[in-house]
Amino acid sequence: MRISLQKIITPSIFTVILTYVLCLGLWFISFILNKHVYPITGYVGTFAEGFLPSQSIIAQLISFILTVLNSVLITQMNNKYAFIRTRTFMPVFIYLLISSFWLPIHGNYVATLASLFVLLAIFLTLLMYKDTRGVEQAFLSFFFLALSSFLVHEFAFLILVFWIGYALLRCLSYRTFFASVIGFITPWILLYSILTFIFNQTELFPDLKGIIYQYQLFEFVNLPTMIYIGIMFLIFSITMIGMSSNTRHDVIQARNELVFFRLMAFGLILILVLRFSNFVSYLPLIAAIYALLSAYTFTLVKNLFYSITFIVFCVVSFAYLLYQLFI
């Protein structure tokens, strides 16, 4: 028995277009059928809900467009840096599938935009490989990271992940370190100046404190969702085992880049555990990192076991979509 994923790895133009069209269709079918409300949370979320409610058709369309932009950036990231040593549509396919099936993402244009900023920061960071003088890239990457932390404050924790990433990519120096610090604080200084001197309010300050001092472990009693999360984590762990046994064929740069992505996944898990109450805001970025890492194994390790694992991944994800819509 042989199952091939090649038509997803290297699809025709028609298949690519059909994938995006089907995702758009799923997006709006979910908009019509879904009765659960997933409001945008946080300080920015409260403002966004008052300006453009997440349950509106326009918010759904904006979040889908941002998801498409994320998928394009994921494609360009692998094409440029080749951490998956071949051109492949698999990371985009997995990302679009997850984003379409995770209904809390739909309409949450704030979280999707925040994930786009983090992906841009990652893109610029990978560009710095062995470049200890990459001051401009360090400044811009942390500038985008700061923008993401405007929208999802917990992403400020990813600063440590990026600095460790600099060390992994051999681009950490006092130049890049101080450029990153300046890049991160610049937009925050601008924001606080506008809030203080123009709007005469500083409501973001206590909210920012809450990121540091308020912790929350899992408090979730939805058993089907917890089972789904467990299966997804198991599939992710299986793909990581497949990646570990296959990276010996990669060049050193690709290995370091993959370690950086795994470190990013670990950072997101920590944020998810410590600040689970805001988990919906992390889902678009989790979907992107999940897709980038799992696609490596599904693309390069071509055997029956991983083909079946991929099918299980698709079936379980579709079943969870049905659960969200009809239960």
Does position 234 have pLDDT exceeding 60, yes or no?
Answer: yes
Look-up: residue for tokens 């992994």?
Answer: 168
Both structure tokens of 36: 């659960």
Q: How confident is the model at residue 199 (pLDDT cuts 50, 70, 90)?
A: low
Task: Check residue 85 and give its pLDDT.
Answer: 87
Task: Check residue 202 and give its pLDDT.
Answer: 55
Classify the C-alpha dihedral 264-267-271-272 as positive or negative. positive
Q: What average pLDDT does the segment 111-136 reach?
A: 93
Residue 253: CB atoms within 10 A of its CB come to: 16
Does position 109 have pLDDT exceeding 90, yes or no?
Answer: yes
Question: What does the pLDDT look like over 236-259, one tens digit per residue?
Answer: 999 999 998 888 888 888 899 999
Burial call 208-246: b when 16+ CB within 10 Å, e when fewer: beebeeeeeeeeeeeeeeeebeebbeebbebbbebbeee
- Among 293, 303, 246, which Cα is nearest to 266's? 293
Cβ–Cβ < 8 Å for 92, 291 = yes
Q: How confident is the model at residue 213 (pLDDT cuts 50, 70, 90)?
A: very low
Question: Any bridge partners for residue 275, and if so which?
Answer: 216
Burial (0-12, 13-18, 19+ Cβ within 10 Å), 198: exposed
Tell me the pLDDT of the chain averaged across its residues: 87
Burial call 12-41: b when 16+ CB within 10 Å, e when fewer: eeeeeeebeeebbebbeebbeebeeebebb
Does position 279 have pLDDT exceeding 90, yes or no?
Answer: no
**What is the full DSSP assignment across 212-280?**
HH--B------HHHHHHHHHHHHHHHHHHHHHHTTGGGS-HHHHHHHHHHHHHHHHHHHHHHHBGGGGG
Task: Check residue 206 and give its pLDDT.
Answer: 44
**Phi-psi map region of 262: left, alpha, beta (phi>0 left; psi -120 to 50 alpha):** alpha
For residues 268 and 220, what is the distance between their CA atoms, to the nearest angstrom?
Answer: 18
More reliable by pLDDT, 278 or 201: 278
**Phi-psi map region of 88: left, alpha, beta (phi>0 left; psi -120 to 50 alpha):** beta
For residues 62 and 76, what is the distance between their CA atoms, to the nearest angstrom?
Answer: 21
Cβ–Cβ < 8 Å for 242, 306 = yes
